[in-house]
Structure formats: C-alpha cells, structure tokens
Structure 1
Amino acid sequence: MDNTLIIGLTLVVYKSLLLFIGWFSRKQTTSVENYYLGGKQIGPLITAISYSASNSSAWTLLGVSGIAYKFGLSTIWLVIGVIVGMFFNWLIVAPTLFRMTRSKDLITIPQFLVNEYQEKEKNPILLLSSIIIIFSFAFYIASQFQGAGNAFQNTFNWGIVQSIALSAIVIFAYTYMGGYLAVSITDTIQGFLMGFTALIMPLVALMKLGGPGVLIDSIINNSTDFTSLTLGNTGLMAMGLIFGQLGIALGYFGQPHLLSRFMAAKDEASLKRARQYTLIWFIIVFIGMWLLGLIGHFMITDLDNNENVFFKLSESLFSPIIQGLLMAAVISAIMSTADSQILVCASSISLDVGLKLSEDPLKQSRLVTGVVIFLSAVIAIFLPEKIFSRVLFAWTAMGSAFGPAIIARLLKWRIHPKNLFITIAAGFLLAVIFFYLPNSIGDWMERVLPFSIGMVLIYLFKE
C-alpha cells in the first residue's frame, strides 16, 4: 500500500474519533455554562492534560524543535521559562481563581475582572477585553491553521488553502456540537498523543544518531554559537537573551484559554492533583522537543525552514503508520489549542460584549464559534507568518494586558474601573509597540517590559 495512503487512513480514523466525541458530548451540552465550562465538573486528569494540550500548540512540536535546531543550547532558557511559568500559574493563580470565580458563578475571565463594579463601569472594560482577546486569538488561531497547512503540505503536497480548510472544518464540527466537554475530552486524547510523540521521537532519533555519547561529542566539537548557552553573547547582551527567553513565563498569568481550565475544575482537590500531572507532561514534552531539535541539527543539514525538522525526522525514522500517528500528534497540537481559544473568543463575544445572533443563548454560542473559526482561517491563508513569532506576539499581548489585572484581583487590591481600563490598554499597546520596534537581544523588551510596566501601573493605582 502507498505510504501516503497509509498516513491518510490513519488520520481519517483519528479525525473520525474526534467527530464522534463532539457528537457524543452534544447530548450533555444543554446550557451556556455547559458549553463554555463543561458544567464545572471536570476531573484532575482531564483538567491537567487538556490544559497542557491547550497550552502546547503547533508552536511546541514545530516551533520549539525548530528554534532548537537553528539556535542550539541557548534555547534551553525558553524551555525553563515555560515550565516555571506554568508551575507558578498552577501553584499561585489556580486555587485562588477557582475559589473567587466559583463563589460568584462566573464563566469568563473578563467577568472575573469586573465582577465588583457597577454595570455602567463594567461595559468599557468588557468591551476592551473582548477586543484584545479576539484580536490576539485571531492571530494565535491562525498560526494553528498555518501549522496544519505545513503538516499537510509536507505529507500530502496539498495546497495551503485545502489544508487549512480541512482543519477548520473538523475543529468547527466537534466544537460546535460538544462545546467545552468535547474540547476537554479531545484535548486529553491529543495531549496523551503529544506526550507519546515527545518521548518516542527524541529516543529514536538519538539512537539513529549513535546514542547520547555521539550527541555530547557533536556538541563539544561544535565551536559555533550553536553550543553556547548565550548564543555567543556576553555581558549585558547575554543577560538580555536569558531574560528575554525566561520572560515567556510572565505570559501565563494572562491567558484566558488556560485560566478557564482552573475555573472548570470539579473542586480544589482536583486542581492539586492536576498540577502534578501537568508538571510531568510539560517536562516530557518541552524537553523532548528541545532535544529533538538539537539532535536534528546534527542529522539534517539542508533544511530551508527550521520549523520542518519534525516532519523531516519523522519521514526518515518511522514507518508510514507511525508517521501517520506523528502527523496526528501535530494536528493534535494544533486543534487542542485552537479549539480552546475559539471557545474563549465565542464566550467573549456572546457573554462579555453581548452581541446577539440568535435568541437562543446556546445557538448563539455555536454561531459565534463558526464566525471565529472562519475569520482565523482567512487570516492564516492571506497573512502567512512564522508560527513561532505569531504565537509569541499573541501570547505576550494577552499576558501583558490581563496578567497585571488578574494578579491585582487575586490579591484583592481595590482598583478604580478607569485605572483598570488604563492598565489593560497600556499592557496591550506596549506589547504591540515593542513587537514592531527593532528586536532587542532575546526580545527581552517585548516579553518583559510591557508586563512589568503594567504591574507598576496597577500597583500605583491601588487604593
């Protein structure tokens, strides 16, 4: 049987499973709260793995392995930043956010930010928050569809439009039918598949290279910047690179699609167990993909696009059936992030802005989901960009906008509504401005300064 056909059949079976889950979950999705937060009855394993999968988009499997392939050992600081940011998000934010939102029966993060204000004070903040979420996630989701395009192009030689359209249709189908419950269950399956991939691929690649000793010798004998922990930089330049990569940790405090996982958990005991599962998953997946990029650097020397190292190694190391599973892992990384972000966008439009497309609230939520998916697919097709840079921009923008405000609310600081509005707007605008300024070493200005300035502002605004 033709290799491409085997890979294709494997993917058909996998996508059919996702659609079945969406259909099955539809029966239990009978209210807006069910649609957006799964009835707030999600257990520890699904909470942990779906959180992890939602966090780890195409950026993880393709982007992290790609930058490790291109820049080498210095990218370890990025991996450390991701793991540290995730851990403190679970340790500090999760339990307090759970208690505060559960007691008030809140569904969205913007609702949490404005809960204590009068109705007329809430609306400007809700509108601003929704604009930021929709703008940022439109590009974030587009990067996922772009990752799908890369995957199908590398495997089947499909055009980018067909590839993006297929992924968008599948995500729309199971998200439309089953909402948060379908998203959480499918994300858990996809999370396990991603974890398996991050274990098996580096191990097989390492054996093909000749073992750990050969990898270590290759690194030691390579005198280029690739083997430097600071990419050959010294002094302040080295510090800038390190802080820039560690700065990704700050974004965790302001990601609505991740924070909603805490709000949907069954109870606090589930959150504590979920934190342990999440830490294990992050260590396996991020270090695994980082190692894969390093190994790939010494195995593949003629790669035009560094974000394709995953596909090239998959093609050279595995049989068609395993290639199909690995391809499914990439699609999993894409779908598990995109579906969560799509739900957040839909909830923001329906619940925070109050846009009405239907008198039936549940039907309204599903219609908005379709609109968000369509717009993101259009951006992916007509505004192509590197997956890594597009994701980090959206991540930084939302982290800088919402992170300081969320921390202030968790600490129960009293902030005047106008000052909260200013803080959110300033964090977002600074992230956009620094993104378009000439790059600093490690992009530390873009990743650290907007959040830091936002924290200073909201502290000064504290009453």
Structure 2
Amino acid sequence: MTASTPMLVTFFIYILGMIFIGFIAWRSTKNFDDYILGGRSLGSFVTALSAGASDMSGWLLMGLPGAIFIAGISESWIAIGLTLGAYVNWKLVAGRLRVHTEANDNALTLPDYFTGRFEDKSRVLRIISALVILVFFTIYCASGVVAGARLFESTFGMSYETALWAGAAATILYTFIGGFLAVSWTDTVQASLMIFALILTPVIVILAIGGLDDSLEVIKQKSIDNVDMLKGLNVMAIISLMGWGLGYFGQPHILARFMAADSHHTIVHARRISMIWMVLCLAGAVAVGFFGIAYFSNNPQLAAAVDQNSERVFIELAQLLFNPWIAGVLLSAILAAVMSTLSCQLLVCSSAITEDLYKAFLRKGASQKELVWVGRAMVLAVALVAIALASNPQNRVLGLVSYAWAGFGAAFGPVVLFSVMWSRMTRNGALAGMIIGALTVIVWKHFGWLGLYEIIPGFIFGSIGIVLFSLLGKAPSRDMLQRFNAANARYHSAPPSSLQTD
C-alpha cells in the first residue's frame, strides 16, 4: 500500500517540525555540557516524557504489537516486566543517580561517572564502559533504522535501501544540530503523539469489528490460545519475558534523562507522569496486536502484508481504518518512536566517543566549541555504521532490541544500581561486574542455555562479581566514602516547600 497525498503532507510537516525544534535548541546550546545533558535543566514533565519516549522505540508500535499478533496475549508478560522494572528504576536509581553524578565531578556520561565515583586513575573503567556503549548502542541504533525503514517502505512504497536513508535522515539532522535539548524537546512532542496513536487505534479497531464482545469472540474462534496468558509458556519462559524489566537499570539513554533533571526532587513528579504514560502506551500496544488478530481474521483478503511481517500490524490498521490525514498522524507516531530513541542513542554514542575517548585521551585541552563539533561528527559516524548494520532486509526490530537491551542491562545495570546504593563498592567490583555481565550476555546468547533470556544470568553474575571483587579487594578510600555519604545525605534531604514530598 502506498501513501496518499495527505499522508505525505502530514509526514512532511511532522519532520519539518522536529527539525525546527532542533534549530531552536541549537540557539540554546552554548557548550558541550548543553549539547550532552542540556545543562541539567529539564523539568519534571520533560524529564518524564523524554525518558519514556527515549525508551519506547519503534519496538513499541511495531515489535510488541507484532509479537502479540503472532502469539496472542501471552507475549504481554514483556509489558508487565517492563512496567515493574521501570518503576523500580525510577524509585531506586533516578534521584540518586542525579545527585551522585553531580557529586562526582559533575559527570556528563556514565563512563565519566564511573571514573569519578570509583577514583579510577587507570581509566580502564572509562575505556571498557565506553566500548560497551559503542558496541551495544550501534546494534540498538540499527534496530531504530530498521523500524524507520519498514515504516517508509510500507507507507511510501520505497525500496528497503532507499527507506533506510529516508527514515534516518531527519533524526540525524536534528540530533546533529540541537544535541540534548533538541532530543529532549522533540521527545516530549513525540511521546504525546505516541500515546494518542496507541489509545485511538485499538478503540477504532474494536468499533470496526462490532464491539468488545464480538472482537473477543472472533479472537477466541481463531484460537482459544490467543486469550491464554500462559499459552505455550513454562516457568523459564515467563521469567525470561519478565526479565526485560532488569534492563532499565543499565540503559544509558534513559539514565541520561535522570542525570539531566534540574533537581533530584523533580524526579518524584516525573516518575508519576512517566509511569502513567508508560502503562497507557504499553496497554495500547498490546491492544493493537491483540485486536488486530480479530480484524484480520474478519478481513483475510487484507491480511497479506501482516502475514508476511507481523510487525506491520499497526501500520496496516492505521492505513485501512483511518482517513488519510488521521492515518498520517498515526503513522507519524511510529516515526516519533523511532526518532526519539534513535536520537538519544546517537547522542549517547557521540558523548562516549567525544567525552570519554577523544577528550580523555587525545585532546584534554579541547575547547567547548571543538567538543561540540566533534560530538556532531560522531553522531554522523555512528549513524552511518548503524545504517550499514541495518541494510539486511531480513532484520527484525524485536530481535535487535532484545540483544542490545540485554547487553546494557547486564553490563551497566548492576554497576549503576550498586554504585548509588552501596558505599562499600570499589573500582575492581565495578570493573568485574561490567565485564562479567557483558560477557555472560554474549556467551549465553550464543549457546541459548535453558531457553533463558540472557539478561537474567548476565545481571545475576554481574551482581555477584561486584560484591565478591569489592569485598575481596581494598576498601574504598576515605574521600570516596565521604563523597558517597554526602551525596546520599543530599538525596534524602527535604525538598523545597514548593515541591510535594513523596
């Protein structure tokens, strides 16, 4: 199905709007701190929605509905695990990380934070963590490029090769120009668009079938297993799906939002906003895939595209059921999801290369202007590598995301969590946790033992490594303990009277 003129116009206006925001942010970007973390100036609303939008990539509107469409409601265990993981991450990590990064040399990046937090004079932590970011984020970026290419391919009738470049171009442009502020402001717009699309679409699908009862009856008639939460799942499979929630503790693009909040006190309000947004979006995505089963069962003559690739279920429903102008807005939501996450990932990769490798090892005296331009150049470089990785038309969004998500969750998750919760943690513990977590994911993914999602053993073994190597080695220095205790006391301090307490 190719796009009509209204859909083309809608897409064009949306993309121009995002680029315009990029130019506004460019005028507010004075130095590298602004380019990477927006000068730590995000309020609770922008923090909440940008964290949500940067998390929920094209996977939300393509991967998850596609999985539900194929396997039924049993795939929603992923959504349950993600919701629980996100809440715990907001509750335990968000505010603490905001305080601890500022207390440790005003760290702008995770490698920067690890180096300061653990007084790593050797800078091995910086190198290892920067390399982990580059490896797994390049794969993650590729998933965003694939999702964008699928959207442009099916909407505009482009070849996959052309769609790769068309889908990535706008994201690269506004990230290149505006940096973190552009990414955060556009994320807020994009999060609003995503929740609109994910609430409206399943409602219209249900009405098109004849109501909720009729929809459920059609789904059951096709296969009663579609409404079984335990369909084909053993305990290990459920644990694997729920285990996705562990990934939140280690995702640099989400953690960067916490670091950029204007105060750790605003995190309380941001958490409430973000969790409401997330629950509604995940429920909507599950509903799109679930009720899509009923729609295409009733209209098998329209099901060729989704039978070929289930990840197109949202795209096909939007085009079939809505006026072209509305369809254009809904499909822009996929582009919003792709652009919001891809832009964050490009920026984190850029900051890892610029702050943690270029400035740290090559140009310690580099000016702020030089660092901003090196950061922009690295955005382009990483984007080109991601496009190259995404060039295989057989790539699936969910598969690419699951590997990168596990890599970050296991390599960084335990390190971040312990670093803000446990004063006795040491440099060797952090290094052991990071390496053991990352290697476990790579090896477990290759062998597929027990049918268990690789993030779970990676997180467990990484945590054990942190505790063992911290306790067996030299205790933290007095300065390290004082910084930790001061940051911890600040985190627990009473908020200003203008802010509601938690």
TM-score of the superposed pair, with normalisation by structure 1: 0.94
Structure number with the bigger relative contact order (C-alpha 8 A, sep ≥ 6) is: 1
Q: Secondary structure at the match of 1:39?
A: coil
Q: Which residue of 1 aligns with 2:121?
A: 120
Write out aligned runs for 1:12-411 (5 A).
12-104=12-104, 105-118=106-119, 120-121=121-122, 123-221=123-221, 223-233=223-233, 238-301=234-297, 302=303, 303-354=307-358, 360-382=370-392, 384-411=394-421
Contact 2:35–2:181 under 8 Å retained in 1: yes
1:169 and 1:297 map into 2 onto residues whose CA distance is: 33
Contact 2:411–2:433 under 8 Å retained in 1: yes
Q: Secondary structure at the match of 2:350?
A: helix
Distance change (3 Å), C-alpha of 1:179 and 1:223:
closer
- Report the AA paired with residue 408 of structure 2: M
Per-residue CA deviation, residues 388-432 of structure 1 (Å, 9 max, x unaligned), is 011011000110001111112112343443342222111111111
1:459 and 1:419 map into 2 onto residues whose CA distance is: 6
1:101 and 1:198 map into 2 onto residues whose CA distance is: 35
- Report the AA paired with residue 30 of structure 2: T
Contact 1:125–1:421 under 8 Å retained in 2: yes
Q: Which residue of 1 aligns with 2:455?
A: 447
Q: CA deviation at 1:119?
A: 5.0
Contact 1:146–1:384 under 8 Å retained in 2: no
1:73 and 1:315 map into 2 onto residues whose CA distance is: 24
Q: CA deviation at 1:219?
A: 4.3
Aligned residues: 455
Q: CA deviation at 1:91?
A: 0.8
Per-residue CA deviation, residues 36-57 of structure 1 (Å, 9 max, x unaligned), is 1111011111111111110000
1:387 and 1:368 map into 2 onto residues whose CA distance is: 24
2:321 and 2:195 map into 1 onto residues whose CA distance is: 18
Distance change (3 Å), C-alpha of 1:52 and 1:299:
same
2:118 and 2:267 map into 1 onto residues whose CA distance is: 28
Contact 1:296–1:309 under 8 Å retained in 2: yes
1:224 and 1:113 map into 2 onto residues whose CA distance is: 50
- Report the AA paired with residue 409 of structure 2: G
Contact 2:40–2:260 under 8 Å retained in 1: yes
Identity, % of aligned positions: 29
Q: CA deviation at 1:114?
A: 2.2
Distance change (3 Å), C-alpha of 1:223 and 1:361:
closer
Q: Which residue of 1 aligns with 2:492?
A: none
- Structure 2 unaligned residues grouped into runs of 5+: 298-302, 472-502
1:240 and 1:336 map into 2 onto residues whose CA distance is: 33
Q: CA deviation at 1:221?
A: 4.4
Per-residue CA deviation, residues 172-204 of structure 1 (Å, 9 max, x unaligned), is 211111110010011110110001001100100
Q: Pairwise CA RMSD of aligned residues? A: 1.8
2:457 and 2:46 map into 1 onto residues whose CA distance is: 34
TM-score of the superposed pair, with normalisation by structure 2: 0.87
Deviates more, 1:403-412 or 1:200-209: 403-412
1:389 and 1:280 map into 2 onto residues whose CA distance is: 27
Per-residue CA deviation, residues 80-112 of structure 1 (Å, 9 max, x unaligned), is 111111111111111111111123311111222
Q: Secondary structure at the match of 1:41?
A: coil
Per-residue CA deviation, residues 240-262 of structure 1 (Å, 9 max, x unaligned), is 12111100010000001000100
2:237 and 2:258 map into 1 onto residues whose CA distance is: 32
Distance change (3 Å), C-alpha of 1:207 and 1:440:
farther
Q: CA deviation at 1:118?
A: 4.1
Q: CA deviation at 1:222?
A: 5.0
Contact 1:413–1:462 under 8 Å retained in 2: no
2:80 and 2:179 map into 1 onto residues whose CA distance is: 33
2:67 and 2:455 map into 1 onto residues whose CA distance is: 17
Contact 1:230–1:241 under 8 Å retained in 2: no
Distance change (3 Å), C-alpha of 1:300 and 1:29:
same
